Structure 1
Amino acid sequence: MTDKLLKAVEHPSDVFLRPGRIPHIWCPGCSLGSVTNVIIEAIKQSGIDSKKISIISGIGCTGRAAGYLNFDSFHTTHGRAIPFAIGLSVTDPERKVIVISGDGDLASIGGNHLIHGARRNADITVICVNNFQYGMTGGQVGPTSYEGQFQTTAPYGNVEHPFDLPGLAYSCGATFVARWTALDVRRMKETIIEAILHKGFSFVEILGSCPTTYGRRNQLREGLEILENFRKRTVLKHGADPTKTEISKDGPIIVGKFVEIKDKSTLTDNLLKVQRIAKATKARGL
């Protein structure tokens, strides 16, 4: 009877989680738990050996995911997840390196690494959970905060233009670009599988719910209200021009797989090519 009870409380994702780190710190209504579970399912269904996967994250609420996942993982300093991931990828080309972090970490202090990682077409997958603000530090305006958004540092509404992350990644050279909301769990999973298997810089933006520091200041006090708002405004548009997918306060939210380019060499490809040339040159005594 005891064995049956123990089996009944097992979760299909248990093998991919670090039990000593559970329960997590995420707030009720936050979508990071469900997004993390989708990432686990995508990895399981990708067919890749879990021992050949590395999870890298930065600072912030989303960045805590690396500590909960039972893979080879590293929690970097603020904004440095992408350069760490690139270094790991080029030194072990057979390894699948996945960055999981938030909009504040990846697009602000880490923004320089985002644009150059995309420019180099580094062979990594970047999953950015965008909650439109700096959540962990109290709800300040961030690089993806839209005009008119209320936050602790914008009590009368944000006056800055936001980054459109899919457009930014594509313009800088990313060869796989997509966006989903946290509500689109099935489509999100399939896209993450494709992104992981893609050769080159793949960027997937997930619009997440943060009722604690975003929602309560913007008339969306519950996580479900934020998701319902996403549902009402979402427009599915595969192949959309990612430079025209900016999010506004009340406008449509365009989601889908926007870009997939398969014939562009990666940073690793180019480094290995130079390595072969250098070895051949040395062998000829030149």
Structure 2
Amino acid sequence: MNYDDYLVKEKFPLFWCAGCGNGNVLGALVRSFAKLQLDKNKTVVVTGIGCWGKADDYISTNTFHGTHGRALGFATGIKLANPDLKVVVLMGDGDGATIGGNHLIHAARRNVDLTVVLVNNLNYGMTGGQYSGTTPEESYTATSIYGHVEDGFDLCRLVESAGAPYVARSTVYNIVELQNLITEALQKKGFSFVEAISPCTTHYGKLNGKKTAPAMLKWIKESSLTIKQAEKLNYEEKKDKFILGKFVDIDKADYSTKYKKVIEVAKSR
């Protein structure tokens, strides 16, 4: 199988705006599927509401489209009902962190065997460009027209602190790295989390001086640091940068494995 086999091309052209990075992430995802030769009948892609949530329209595996902020809740149920399935969860920053942040924390804490690809576009792209939980301080959005006053979540740090065994971040500019991280995450047992930085060109870019896709990609490149580069800088020097790479890669027993032991104990009594 090649990556075309994982796409529903009858649904093309893509829904997303010109210059949107979601198509880049979709390409990286399905190429990872093809590299691993995932069985489409045993793979489930779960999405929520939002621009990136439309990705399930174009993927030919089993898919489940849920409500806003609840993709991880549905995915957890699917995985626990049938642990043999490969369950992949696609969320945006609004869906996955601002609305669904509590699910994100607890799915990572429980170490449910899910692969999460969260596209962070720094605002609510589908509903008009309102600020989200990851919008950088001092940014302009539809609901912060004089400047945003809140710090944005560092989602990788959040998920790491909750206990996830695999945590990584890349961008739509660094597409080869992003694909490699997704491929690794798909092979990881337990809760694996890959954040893809893909700022919204239509809303965030327009209001923050990056009105074209090339301008946005140039800004992403100039605003990115590797983990090693970031280690040499103080807080002020790196606070507005995207730190890229693999933050956590450890082995831990996942939720289903531990729960099977509970079932065995219950049957023996």
Q: TM-score, normalised by structure 1?
A: 0.88
Q: % of aligned pairs identical?
A: 41
SS at match of 1:214: helix
Q: State the Cα RMSD in Å.
A: 2.1
Indicate whether 1:280 and 2:268 are aligned. yes
Q: Which residue of structure 2 aligns with residue 108 of structure 1?
A: 98
Contact conserved, 2:123 with 2:134, CA < 8 A, in 1?
Answer: yes
SS at match of 2:219: helix
Letter in 1 for 2:117: I
For 2:32 and 2:263, locate their aligned partners in 1 and report how far apart those are by CA, in whole Å: 33
Shift of 1:252: 2.6
Indicate whether 1:149 and 2:128 are aligned. no
Counterpart of 2:246 (choices 242, 249, 257) is 257
List structure 1 runs of 4+ shifted beyond 3 angstroms: 238-241, 244-248
Query: 5 Å matches for 1:35-54?
Result: 35-54=25-44
In 2 relative to 1, CA 271–60 (structure 1 residues): closer, same or farther, beyond 3 Å? same
Residue-by-residue CA offset, 1:176-221 (whole Å, 9 max, x unaligned): 0000011111111111111011011111100003211110000000
Query: 5 Å matches for 1:23-38?
Result: 23-38=13-28
Letter in 2 for 1:22: F
SS at match of 1:258: strand
Contact conserved, 1:239 with 1:256, CA < 8 A, in 2?
Answer: no
Q: Which residue of structure 2 aligns with residue 82 of structure 1?
A: 72
| Structure with bigger gyration radius | 1
For 1:28 and 1:175, locate their aligned partners in 2 and report how far apart those are by CA, in whole Å: 35
Q: How many residues align?
A: 266
Q: Which residue of structure 1 aligns with residue 10 of structure 2?
A: 20
For 1:195 and 1:266, locate their aligned partners in 2 and report how far apart those are by CA, in whole Å: 14
Q: Which residue of structure 1 aligns with residue 125 of structure 2?
A: 135
Indicate whether 1:174 and 2:157 are aligned. no
Shift of 1:48: 2.7
Indicate whether 1:216 and 2:206 are aligned. yes
SS at match of 1:122: coil
Q: TM-score, normalised by structure 2?
A: 0.94
For 1:268 and 1:246, locate their aligned partners in 2 and report how far apart those are by CA, in whole Å: 42
Q: Which residue of structure 2 aligns with residue 9 of structure 1?
A: none
Contact conserved, 2:6 with 2:34, CA < 8 A, in 1?
Answer: no
Letter in 2 for 1:279: K
Q: Which residue of structure 1 aligns with residue 221 of structure 2?
A: 231
Shift of 1:240: 7.8
In 2 relative to 1, CA 239–192 (structure 1 residues): closer, same or farther, beyond 3 Å? farther
Shift of 1:153: 0.4
Residue-by-residue CA offset, 1:207-255 (whole Å, 9 max, x unaligned): 00321111000000011211111111211226989xx99998x833210
For 2:237 and 2:60, locate their aligned partners in 1 and report how far apart those are by CA, in whole Å: 34
